[in-house]
């Protein structure tokens, strides 16, 4: 019997782990009975899919008319004939985890449940229980029991019983699948024998009548069960059999009066934890809307644990038990039950342990999610599955709280038990809180068994099983996602994967199983990439891009597997995979090129000889020799064909690779050095310019020597410790060898050392300096070795020829530094330093001047000339023009004035003299005497400073020298050009600085204007406009003296003589027009040269004309009509005269040029001269009063267009002002007409009630709300007579306003006992009150009157006055009479003619 049950359980577990979610066609519902349900084998052979997708013909099984999830309350809506609309589902899969849950449908069970609803009126499914069998309760009281093959085994109950008991609301199957408990909506409970299909018990008194059974659960004890009803009470059911009679005893565990329990969950042991101590204690978890309790049922009832629960009123608590292996130490693990409970979006985890005959609870963790939970189930000890309120399934890893997958199950149409929680079958006698929270109750619709999840839908039953690790990989392979499949396999291999199922054995065994799977998958991926997934056609670039994606994947995973077995990696990567890629030449080349980054990153150091040979041949064929060299130095020499590599390196000059092969492969550090030094020696002896490759060779040798002497390998790594001393000794011996092995008779001594010194003296000496810092040179042998090298250097460079002064200077600088660092350990004849000094500072030698100076500077800074007399050294430096050396010497002596002279004499650093002077004059660390000396020297060399940069010189004088500009101007006066440059720099500097740090005297400015008129007359006008530090009369005389007509006119205009300015510019214009006319008359050949001259002359006339027009426009507003006509008409006459005089001699184009100039004048004067006067002047002119109308048509139309535009602009402005004024007056009228309400009913001065006001007295109320007797307000100075009109002011507000302006921060009030104001205690803390008289708090009447008159004198015209003036002007214009139109401009009293008139068009303030 146990074997049969075990087989049934195994069959159900397999039957629920299906591969595909499909639905029955609609036609299947028309069958009278289900004769052939699908078998397990047929289901397992169906193709797998990643998601739960439905086709349109099956959608009606899963969705109701609205597409919403149905509840039992709305089951009648399922019969609707409305069309079904597919709903987009929101599945979320994370690439690192893939598809974890497999979602399938039990088609056989679903079809039979729906068939039962149709054939026997079983009703819709309402509850479900799963063990080794599947039991489904219906709304009409029937229970359908199915075996693991989805075959209907029992149909328990009848519709007649269902009509009496109501719908099945809860189900439970015991551990051995022999008993079934069912609870009903009307409160009855039945027990069934599942082996015979018989009813064993009907329990009607287990709990209070009139309440629905919400939960019923078997415990580990087959004779003990618990139930929960809609009243929130929990009862223990004890089943007994006495004298052949089956009885049931009920005990109340928790009363709903203390809080309604909505969820219960007993702790059930599993086969793997049969011997756990918790099995002797029957634990029950209960959750209400406010707390979670755990009680023990055996051996006696006891509350063990309580935890508060909080959440929204619409949420229910959730409970789930699971036995979990917990690591308590490095070597100890225990298996304890863990309870997961929560409400809303919070979830808590507590461990339950049995210690010392006591049950203890330990908090493990807390989750706060982004969604509301309605169901929680465990699928294994590390994985939790949640269902949220939007019917989305969330797979979570418990330890990391990472979300692994999200599946939308809204198409399932989950069954909700809301009708049971509302107890509708018994009249709805439940609390409002329980009814509201039960809207999303699905405790009996989401069931777990054997790590599988079952969901009860309104028309189907769904199963979700967790895929094994291999199924998750195979699913991606079926979808041709090989890269994702490899990544998934890697996560299993590295132990990063979550929700892992199906891996058994020890760590090594599991790793090997995954590695074998990865290897098979990788080989399959290579085959597929070369066949089905390879682009069939296209450009070569497409194939290259394809292989560039494939090859790195292969290399990465081979390297990953090679961490445990390097030989296997090489056999796979460079065996089967490389051979497969070699079948395609393009793939072979891409494979070899993709190896390069792995080699350079030291991820791939071992390559088979054949692949390395192909690699080098491929790169050599493509000319990528430098890439080969870079890769060789990262490879293991044992895998290289040394002969092939050495030959190629010598042939192509791959010196890094050559050195690496000799060093690593042969442990030879001297042979490559000698051979490469010979190559460099030959290049230097050729007396030709070294090529880039030869320079690179020399630099490589210097770096190689430096690395060897420091104990480091070249180019990477370190020399083996056992070889360090030997390598250093041999390298020094090689460099300082007296002769080479195959020396010729004429070979110089120390050829290698000489070669390195001639190549780069400074860098080679730096290499030696670094080597001398090594510890071995601190010993006696080391000091002798160092002295020997110094002696050789002196012998080679000083006692022979062929070295430049710079090279010799570098040597002695090196020696000076070494002597200072290693005192008394290096011996050098001091006379040699003096000889070098005289050699470097020889005045007869002008060659390599800067080079010799730099060498001397370095030698001086190194302390090599300490024994030389400073005067002698300074003399030699001055004679040799070594100004930087002189500067260094002067700086030590703090002769900063002489340093300034050095800057001026040094052509390369003359521009730096200004920053030097500024530093001395402003920085700290300089005395006044030193600053004065620099000041005197700068003033002496002022001419040179100006010649260098006049602007910086002027800025220096302004900012750093407190010297009179007049004195400097007087000093430079004999040299006008220098003075002009200085002044120009001064004024330009002031413009850039945007400030005037020193006041410029007018005489200085006038001197600059005088010089500018002489040297830069074009800039005079711009300077006069932008500067105002000159005197008008003196400057006018200067401009007249130099005949600067435009500047003279500007000054005359500025002085108020507009007529004089006009006459000067008019004279210039007449001359320009005359010259233009002569040029036009002489222009008979129309050559390009003459045309360009004519255009230049026309442009010149336009420029002068524009200046005159601007002068007249600036001043016409200040003149009377006659004065304006006296200026504008002569200007127009100047332009009309040539047209009258030469009308018959000029061409049409030339006449048109004059007419364009005339039109410009007319358009400019229309705003200042009446239009009839202009037209009359034009029509009287002979140039326009004859001929056809077409000749002057454009001129007249242009004038009329301008007139119409200005008239429209005036009307628009008038209209805007009218609207603005009307709006403002309306607001003012509304404010005035608004009733005023006093703040209080007594006077603000005397304090008496207004009802006692005498008849001759009146009450005045202000808009602020204060009210006074008029007599009282007059007594405190609140009324002032202005031009015979009383002007009233609120006394309180007036005094407070003045207080605020004085900033005293006090508040004044009035006493009701006196008519005089007095000071009261301040409101603000910290203010001090002082008594004072009334005169201190307000102005006297005389002062108020004076202030009002002062305001009136500065008040502009009112808006009404402006509108009246504009209206009058509009009336004159509309009359059409010339004399009326002339009045518009002739009235001097018009406010529009006032030069200070400004039109303010801002909106008036809003009056509340």
Residue 1048 has pLDDT above 70, yes or no: yes
Can you give the pLDDT at residue 180?
Answer: 93
CA distance linking residue 1149 with residue 1154, whole number of Å: 9
Backbone angle region of 1265, left / alpha / beta, with phi > 0 → left and psi within -120 to 50 → alpha: left
Residues 1370, 1214 contacting (CB under 8 angstroms): yes
Q: CA separation (Å) from 1235 to 667, 1406, 1407?
A: 112, 18, 14
Mean pLDDT of 1011-1025: 83
SS (H, E, C) 761-810: HHHHHHHHHHHCCCHHHHCHHHHHHHHHHHHHHHHHHCCCCCCCHHHHHH
Residue 17 has pLDDT above 50, yes or no: no
| Token pair in block for residue 415 | 């069954």
> Going by C-beta distance under 8 Å and a sequence separation of 6 or more, which residues neighbour residue 271?
none
Residues 497, 97 contacting (CB under 8 angstroms): yes
HSE toward the beta carbon, residue 1235, CA cutoff 13 A: 3
End-to-end CA distance of the chain: 96
Residue 10 has pLDDT above 60, yes or no: no
Cβ atoms within 10 A of the Cβ of 828, count?
A: 18
Can you give the pLDDT at residue 1347?
Answer: 64
For 613-637, the pLDDT digits (tens) are: 888 889 888 888 888 888 988 888 8
Q: H or E stretch including 342?
A: strand 333-343
CA distance linking residue 46 with residue 1342, whole number of Å: 110
Residue 1157 has pLDDT above 50, yes or no: yes
Answer yes or no: pTM beyond 0.85.
Answer: no
Residues 487, 556 contacting (CB under 8 angstroms): no
Q: H or E stretch including 172?
A: strand 168-173
Task: Report the range of poorest mean pLDDT among 749-753, 842-846, 1039-1043, 1156-1160.
Answer: 842-846
Report the relative pairing of strands 125-130 and 101-105 from DSSP bridges. Answer: unpaired
Residue 85 has pLDDT above 50, yes or no: no
Can you give the pLDDT at residue 366?
Answer: 92
Can you give the pLDDT at residue 1389?
Answer: 53
Q: H or E stretch including 1285?
A: strand 1285-1288
Classify 46 as helix, strand or coil: coil
Can you give the pLDDT at residue 990?
Answer: 61
Q: How confident is the model at residue 568 (pLDDT cuts 50, 70, 90)?
A: confident
Q: How confident is the model at residue 8 (pLDDT cuts 50, 70, 90)?
A: very low
Residue 1362 has pLDDT above 70, yes or no: no
Residues 419, 434 contacting (CB under 8 angstroms): no
Mean pLDDT of 1371-1400: 52
Cβ atoms within 10 A of the Cβ of 1290, count?
A: 21
Quick one: which of 634, 475, 509, 489 has its CA closest to 553? 489
| Token pair in block for residue 955 | 């800025």
What does the buried/exposed string (b/e) look like for 191-212 if buried means 16 or more CB atoms within 10 Å of the residue's CB?
bbebeeeeeebebeebbeebbb
Classify 860 as helix, strand or coil: helix
What is the DSSP track for 463-495?
Answer: EEEEPPHHHHHHHHHHTT-HHHHHHHHHHHHHT
CA angle (130, 151, 38) in 5-degree steps: 110
Mean pLDDT of 28-57: 38
Can you give the pLDDT at residue 1184?
Answer: 60
**DSSP assigned state of 664:** I
Residue 202 has pLDDT above 80, yes or no: yes
Residue 1330 has pLDDT above 60, yes or no: no
For 622-678, the pLDDT digits (tens) are: 888 888 888 988 888 887 888 888 888 888 888 898 899 888 888 889 899 888 988
Mean pLDDT of 256-261: 87
Mean pLDDT of 262-283: 81
Report H helices in 1253-1338. 1270-1275, 1291-1302
Residues 23, 472 contacting (CB under 8 angstroms): no
HSE toward the beta carbon, residue 489, CA cutoff 13 A: 31
CA distance linking residue 1286 with residue 1364, whole number of Å: 28
For 915-973, the pLDDT digits (tens) are: 888 888 888 888 888 888 888 888 888 888 888 887 787 777 777 776 667 777 777 77
Residue 829 has pLDDT above 80, yes or no: no
**DSSP assigned state of 1265:** S
Can you give the pLDDT at residue 318?
Answer: 94
Residues 311, 336 contacting (CB under 8 angstroms): no
Classify 237 as helix, strand or coil: strand
Q: CA separation (Å) from 930 to 232, 629, 921, 1335, 1366?
A: 100, 62, 9, 63, 73
Cα 1389–chain centre separation: 65
| Token pair in block for residue 866 | 């300490």
CA distance linking residue 476 with residue 484, whole number of Å: 7
For 346-360, the pLDDT digits (tens) are: 999 999 988 777 888
In whole numbers, what is the pLDDT of the chain averaged over residues? 78
> Going by C-beta distance under 8 Å and a sequence separation of 6 or more, which residues neighbour residue 563?
none
Cβ atoms within 10 A of the Cβ of 1228, count?
A: 12
Can you give the pLDDT at residue 1390?
Answer: 58
Paired strand residues for 718: 712
């Amino acid at each position: 019997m146990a074997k049969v049950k075990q087989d049934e359980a195994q069959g159900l577990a397999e039957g629920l782990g299906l591969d595909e979610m499909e639905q029955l066609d609609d036609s299947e519902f028309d069958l009278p009975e289900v004769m052939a349900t699908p078998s397990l084998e047929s289901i397992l052979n169906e193709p797998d899919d990643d998601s739960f997708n439905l086709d349109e013909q099956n959608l009606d099984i899963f969705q109701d008319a609205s597409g919403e999830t149905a509840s039992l309350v709305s089951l009648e809506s399922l019969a609707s004939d409305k069309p079904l609309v597919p709903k987009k589902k929101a599945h979320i899969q994370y690439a690192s985890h893939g598809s974890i849950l497999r979602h399938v449908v039990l088609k056989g069970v679903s079809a039979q449940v729906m068939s039962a609803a149709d054939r026997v009126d079983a009703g819709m499914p309402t509850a479900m229980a799963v063990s080794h069998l599947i039991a489904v309760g219906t709304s009409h009281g029937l229970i359908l029991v199915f075996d693991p093959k989805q075959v209907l085994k029992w149909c328990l109950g009848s519709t007649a019983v269902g009509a009496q008991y109501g719908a099945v609301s809860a189900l439970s199957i015991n551990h051995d699948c022999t008993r079934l408990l069912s609870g009903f909506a009307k409160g009855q409970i039945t027990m069934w024998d599942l082996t015979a299909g018989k009813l064993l018990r009907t329990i009607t008194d287990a709990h209070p009548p009139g309440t629905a059974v919400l939960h019923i659960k078997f415990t580990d004890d087959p004779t003990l069960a618990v139930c929960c009803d809609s009243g929130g009470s929990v009862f223990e059911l004890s089943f007994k059999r006495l004298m052949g009679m089956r009885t049931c005893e009920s005990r109340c565990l928790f009363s709903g009066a203390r809080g309604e329990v909505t969820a219960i969950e007993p702790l059930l042991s599993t086969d793997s934890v049969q011997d756990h101590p918790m099995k002797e204690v029957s634990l029950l978890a209960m959750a209400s809307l406010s707390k979670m309790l755990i009680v023990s049922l055996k051996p006696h009832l006891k509350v063990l644990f309580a935890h508060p629960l909080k959440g929204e009123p619409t949420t229910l608590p959730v409970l789930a038990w699971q036995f979990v292996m917990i690591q308590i130490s490095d070597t100890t693990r225990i298996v304890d039950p863990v309870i997961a409970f929560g409400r809303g979006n919070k979830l808590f985890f507590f461990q339950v342990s049995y210690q010392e005959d006591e049950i203890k609870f330990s908090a493990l963790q807390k989750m706060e999610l982004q969604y509301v939970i309605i169901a929680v189930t465990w699928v294994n000890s590390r994985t939790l599955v949640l269902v949220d309120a939007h019917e989305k399934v969330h797979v979570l890893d418990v330890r990391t709280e990472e979300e692994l997958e999200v599946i939308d199950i809204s198409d399932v149409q989950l069954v909700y038990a809301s009708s049971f929680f509302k107890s509708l079958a018994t009249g709805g006698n439940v609390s409002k809180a329980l009814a509201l929270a039960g809207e999303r109750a699905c405790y009996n619709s989401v069931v777990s068994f054997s790590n599988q999840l079952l969901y009860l839908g309104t028309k189907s039953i769904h199963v979700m099983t967790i895929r094994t690790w291999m199924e998750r990989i195979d699913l991606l392979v079926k979808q041709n996602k090989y890269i994702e499949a490899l990544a998934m396999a890697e996560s299993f291999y590295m132990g990063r994967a979550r929700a892992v199922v199906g891996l058994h054995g020890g760590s090594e065994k599991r790793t090997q199983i995954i590695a074998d799977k990865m290897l098979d998958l990788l080989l399959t991926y290579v085959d597929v990439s070369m066949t089905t997934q390879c682009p069939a056609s296209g450009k070569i670039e497409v194939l290259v891009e394809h292989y560039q994606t494939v090859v790195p994947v292969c290399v990465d995973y081979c390297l990953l597997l090679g961490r445990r077995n390097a030989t296997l990696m090489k056999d796979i990567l460079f065996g089967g995979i490389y051979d497969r890629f070699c079948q395609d030449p393009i793939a072979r080349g891409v494979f070899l090129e993709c190896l390069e980054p792995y080699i350079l990153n030291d991820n791939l150091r071992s390559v088979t000889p054949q692949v390395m040979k192909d690699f080098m041949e491929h790169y050599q064929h493509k000319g990528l020799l430098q890439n080969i060299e870079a890769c060789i130095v990262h490879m293991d020499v044992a895998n290289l064909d040394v002969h092939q590599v050495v030959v190629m390196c010598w042939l192509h000059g791959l010196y890094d690779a050559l050195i690496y092969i000799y060093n690593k492969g042969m442990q030879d550090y001297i042979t490559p050095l000698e051979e490469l030094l010979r190559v460099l020696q030959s290049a230097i002896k050729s007396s030709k310019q070294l090529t880039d490759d030869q320079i690179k060779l020399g630099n490589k040798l210097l770096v190689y020597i430096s690395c060897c002497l420091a104990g480091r390998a070249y180019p990477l790594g370190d020399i083996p410790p056992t070889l360090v001393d030997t390598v250093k000794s041999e390298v020094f011996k090689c460099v300082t060898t007296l002769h080479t092995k195959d020396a010729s008779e004429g070979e110089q001594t120390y050829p290698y050392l000489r070669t390195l010194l001639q190549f780069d003296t400074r860098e080679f000496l730096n290499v030696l300096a670094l080597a001398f810092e090594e510890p071995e040179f601190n010993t006696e042998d080391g000091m002798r070795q160092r002295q020997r090298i110094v002696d050789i250097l002196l012998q080679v460079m000083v006692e022979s020829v062929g070295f430049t002064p710079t090279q010799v200077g570098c040597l002695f600088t090196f020696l000076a530094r070494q002597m200072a660092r290693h005192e008394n350990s290096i011996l050098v004849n001091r006379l040699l330093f003096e000889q070098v000094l005289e050699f470097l500072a020889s005045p007869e030698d002008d060659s390599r001047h800067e080079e010799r100076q730099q060498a001397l500077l370095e030698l001086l800074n190194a302390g090599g000339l300490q024994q030389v007399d400073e005067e002698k050294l300074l003399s030699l430096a001055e004679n040799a023009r070594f100004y930087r050396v002189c500067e260094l010497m002067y700086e030590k002596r703090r002769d900063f004035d002489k340093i300034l002279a050095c800057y001026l004499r040094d052509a390369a650093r003359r521009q730096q003299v200004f920053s030097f002077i500024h530093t001395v004059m402003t920085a700290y660390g300089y005395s006044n005497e030193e600053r004065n000396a620099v000041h005197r020297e700068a003033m002496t060399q002022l001419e040179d400073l100006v010649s260098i940069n006049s602007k910086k010189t002027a800025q220096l004088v302004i900012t750093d020298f407190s010297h009179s500009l007049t004195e400097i101007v007087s000093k430079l006066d004999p040299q006008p050009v220098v003075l002009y440059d200085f002044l120009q720099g001064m004024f330009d500097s002031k413009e850039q600085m945007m400030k005037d740090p020193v006041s410029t005297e007018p005489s200085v400015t006038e001197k600059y204007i005088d010089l500018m008129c002489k040297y830069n007359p074009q800039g005079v006008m711009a300077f006069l406009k932008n500067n105002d530090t000159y005197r008008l009369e003196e400057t006018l005389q200067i401009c007249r003296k130099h005949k600067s007509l435009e500047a003279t006119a500007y000054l005359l205009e500025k002085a108020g003589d507009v007529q004089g300015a006009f006459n000067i510019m008019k004279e210039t214009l007449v001359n320009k027009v005359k010259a233009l006319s002569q040029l036009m008359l002489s222009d008979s050949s129309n050559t390009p040269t003459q045309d360009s001259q004519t255009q230049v002359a026309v442009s010149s006339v336009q420029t002068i004309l524009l200046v005159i027009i601007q002068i007249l426009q600036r001043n016409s507003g200040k003149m009377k009509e006659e004065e304006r006509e006296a200026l504008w008409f002569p200007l127009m006459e100047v332009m009309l005269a040539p047209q009258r005089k030469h009308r018959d001699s000029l061409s049409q184009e030339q006449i048109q040029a004059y007419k364009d100039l005339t039109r410009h004048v007319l358009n400019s004067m229309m705003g200042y001269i009446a239009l009839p006067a202009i037209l009359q002047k034009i029509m009287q002119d002979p140039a326009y009063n004859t001929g056809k109308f077409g000749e002057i048509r454009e001129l007249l139309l242009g004038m009329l267009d301008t007139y119409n535009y200005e008239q429209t602009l005036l009307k628009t402005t008038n209209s805007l002002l009218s609207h603005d004024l009307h709006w403002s007056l309306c607001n003012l009228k509304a404010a005035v007409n608004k009733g005023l309400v006093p703040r209080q009913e007594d006077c603000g001065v005397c304090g008496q009630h207004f009802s006692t006001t005498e008849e001759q007295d009146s009450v005045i109320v202000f808009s602020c709300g204060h009210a006074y007797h008029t007599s009282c307000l007059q007594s405190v100075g609140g009324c002032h007579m202005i031009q015979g009109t009383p002007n009233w002011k609120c006394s309180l507000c007036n005094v407070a306003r003045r207080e605020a302006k004085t900033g005293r921060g006090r508040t004044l009030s009035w006493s009701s006992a006196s008519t005089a104001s007095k000071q009261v205690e301040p409101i603000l803390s910290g203010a001090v009150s002082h008594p004072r008289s009334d005169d201190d708090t307000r102005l006297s009447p005389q002062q108020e009157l004076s202030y009002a008159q002062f305001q009136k004198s500065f008040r502009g015209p009112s808006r009404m006055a402006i509108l009246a003036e504009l209206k009058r002007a509009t009336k004159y214009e509309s009359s059409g009479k010339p004399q009326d139109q002339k009045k518009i401009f002739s009235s001097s009293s018009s406010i529009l003619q006032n030069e200070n008139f400004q039109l303010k068009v801002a909106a008036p303030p809003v009056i509340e």
